[in-house]
Amino acid sequence: MKTAIIGGGAAGFFLAINLKEMTPSCEVTIFEKSKKVLAKVEVSGGGRCNCTNSFAAVRDLSQVYPRGHRLMKRLFKQFDYRDAYAWFERHGVRLVTQDDQCVFPASQDSHTIINLFLAEARRHGITIQTGRKIDSLDELSDYDHVVVTTGGSPREEGLQWLTQKGIAVTPPVPSLFTFSIADEALKALMGTVVEGATAFIPGTTFRATGPLLITHWGMSGPAILKLSSYAARNLHDHQYQMPLAVNWLSRNEAEVQSELQQIIIRHPQKQLTTIRPFDLPTRLWTYLLEKTLGERAQNRWQNLNKKELNRLVNCLCNDGYQIAGRAAFKDEFVTCGGVSLSAVTPHTLESKDRPHLYFAGEVLDIDGITGGFNFQAAWTTAYTVAKAISESE
């Protein structure tokens, strides 16, 4: 039995190794178009490789897989994050779980994962052909099984070689990016982090809570990255020009108003700038006061009239901005879109129209938020295909 794997990334290597473990007699060849394999693994997680997540904070998979969560729920029954964790530890890679539930190799070095994959590929006699681009499935007609693990494509043209064979593809668009915002006063706060902010797009259901980082180009951090993932297609359709609102406190307006009124009662003589409610960073609090009250930001709390109080509450809970574009997130490149899930058999990921053709990894229309979820999708889908091919013989 001969199996060709197109794409020498995370999914391709994990699939090849597991297939050889299940069926040692299978001949496996990985075709990689570039000169280097596992390039994305090397740079992911800032070079540390956030290889999975504990899922301890995940109530529903739709929270972390905006697209493909129903299929992932099904596939997790045969290989989930616990299985992935055990697999790496069994193969000699010790893992650690951070407070945010992200899982990394204890070495904090992505080369630990890369070296494992390369060593296992050598041990199992897996053939690796680099600098070998496959332009047509017809080139691999002498293989019994072909698996596409080419990863996400930023442009639809990158998947044309599949659509030309009649394979349904959902047009790809970027996911997991930061926001450019044309607000110089905000950018002056670069480096400021608010731990529990909620970012949302007004008039939609898209919202995300988490740390928010103000940068020299706009906004970043987990809250923004999650929001970009949830709203990826909508943002693309609007050319990344949409309104953005931030609830800096992740509290409702009634709670915030009550807290501010208590400050007025307790500290009427204090200046607005000298008391920071809710432990907001000093520079951000001053910025929000000046944005809301202008010159009156230097007033005392007792001089805050009802109208100004309402405006301040609204600014804290519904602070408006305009997204002026998207900026890259270097730790993780992810696309929304890919081979349509309706085009594959759910429990094997085999093409419904072309027998013995399979798909795994991000080439499928499955993508997750930041935090190790995309690598977990790669491990799960790759294992699923390896098992399906092994059991087909």
- Please compute the mean of the pLDDT values over residues 309-328 and round it to a whole number: 96
- Please compute the mean of the pLDDT values over residues 357-378 and round it to a whole number: 97
- Rounded Cα distance between 152 and 166, Å, is 19
Structure confidence by residue, pLDDT tens digits, 218-263: 999 999 999 999 999 999 999 999 999 999 999 999 999 999 999 9
* Residue pointed to by tokens 């059991």: 391
Report pLDDT for 333.
Answer: 77
Structure confidence by residue, pLDDT tens digits, 8-18: 999 999 999 99
- Rounded Cα distance between 370 and 211, Å, is 13
Is residue 144 helix, strand or coil? coil
- Please compute the mean of the pLDDT values over residues 89-103 and round it to a whole number: 98
- Please compute the mean of the pLDDT values over residues 319-345 and round it to a whole number: 91
Amino acid identity for residue 214 in this structure? I
Residue 158: pLDDT band with limits 50, 70, 90: confident
Give 48's Cβ-side CA count (13 Å radius).
17
Taking a C-beta distance cutoff of 8 angstroms, is the pair 317, 251 a contact?
Answer: yes
Structure confidence by residue, pLDDT tens digits, 346-366: 999 999 999 999 999 999 999
- Rounded Cα distance between 291 and 297, Å, is 9
Report pLDDT for 329.
Answer: 76
100 alpha-carbon distance from chain centroid: 14
CATH of domain 2-174+334-391: 3.50.50.60
Comparing C-alpha atoms, which of 14, 42, 56 is closest to residue 377? Answer: 14
- Tell me the domain boundaries of the chain: 2-174+334-391, 177-332
Comparing C-alpha atoms, which of 363, 347, 360 is closest to residue 14? Answer: 360
Lowest-confidence region among 96-105, 275-284, 322-331:
322-331
Structure confidence by residue, pLDDT tens digits, 171-215: 999 999 999 999 999 999 999 999 999 999 999 999 999 999 999
Report pLDDT for 332.
Answer: 67
Structure confidence by residue, pLDDT tens digits, 54-84: 999 999 999 999 999 999 999 999 999 999 9
Q: What is the DSSP string of 236-271?
A: HHTTT--EEEEETT---HHHHHHHHHHHHHH-TTSB
Structure confidence by residue, pLDDT tens digits, 285-297: 999 999 999 999 9
Structure confidence by residue, pLDDT tens digits, 110-146: 999 999 999 999 999 999 999 999 999 999 999 999 9
- Please compute the mean of the pLDDT values over residues 312-326 and round it to a whole number: 98
